[in-house]
Amino acid sequence: GDSVTQMEGPVTLSEEAFLTINCTYTATGYPSLFWYVQYPGEGLQLLLKATKADDKGSNKGFEATYRKETTSFHLEKGSVQVSDSAVYFCALEVYGGSNYKLTFGKGTLLTVNP
Amino acid sequence: ETGVTQTPRHLVMGMTNKKSLKCEQHLGHNAMYWYKQSAKKPLELMFVYSLEERVENNSVPSRFSPECPNSSHLFLHLHTLQPEDSALYLCASSQSFAGGTDTQYFGPGTRLTVL
């Protein structure tokens, strides 16, 4: 079945450090890929997405490139801020016969210290 | 209000209680979703409604009963829950249940504790 594997957290960084959160997937067909972010006490928000191979999604300084050859969609940011502290979820969406279905990873907690 | 709202934000209930979770979306969307978020587990899709009809039910126990009276409101009725049902229950909505570019917008969730 379809699945998403993302690096286990928690990840703790100092402000202005470089961030990478790894995400790999297994899917039938051609999935769309997403990163969602959940700030403390809030619901999930879409951070970025890519719908086909080699697409790069970007938002708020975060980037991820859809790599079909390695089935990966790693999240990166060059310089993190304290306000980036949150849980990050990698997800894929495939068409399952009659409808689309989002499958999420377990989430990675990021803490950025000043 | 804008976006997706959920009430209550926190709920503590005993195993014999009956309670309901409410979700309301102010985005004019036609599809609504219930997810369960447990610690150290991926989000689990529970139910999907499209144009007020249930289109997905992911083998959820019958002690969870959804209701979608109109395209803006979604309820999750709870009865005789178990302690392992304690989790964050998230509601989401999207323009349609067609996937692809239809982004799901999430509410803040209801933190449920079953004693």
Which residues of chain A fall short of a pLDDT of 70?
A: 96-100
Asked if A7 has any chain B CB less than 8 Å from its own CB, the reply is: no
Put simply, the answer to whether B100 touches A51 (Cβ < 8 Å) is yes
Considering only CA atoms, which of A35, A33, A75 is closest in space to residue A55? Answer: A33
Rounded CA-CA distance B43/B41 in Å is 6
Low-confidence ranges of chain B (pLDDT < 70): 1-2, 98-101
- C-beta atoms of A103 and B55 within 8 A: no
Q: CB of A102 within 8 Å of any CB in chain B?
A: yes
Confidence (pLDDT) at A96: 62
- Residue B1 has what pLDDT? 52
Contact B42 A42 (CB under 8 A): no
Residue B25 confidence (pLDDT): 96
What pLDDT sits at residue B107?
A: 93
The pLDDT of residue A98 is 58
pLDDT, tens digit, 9 for 90 and up, residues A93-114: 887 655 667 889 999 999 999 9
List CB contacts (< 8 A) between A44 and chain B: 43, 90, 92, 106
DSSP output for B18-87: EEEEEEEE-S--SEEEEEEE-TTS--EEEEEEETTEEEEE-S--TTEEEEEEETTEEEEEEES--GGG-E
B99/A89 Cβ within 8 A: no
- Chain B from 50 to 109: CB within 8 A of any A CB: 55-56, 90, 92, 97-109
Say if the Cβ atoms of B99 and A95 lie within 8 Å. Answer: yes
* Cα gap B114→B45, rounded to integer Å: 20
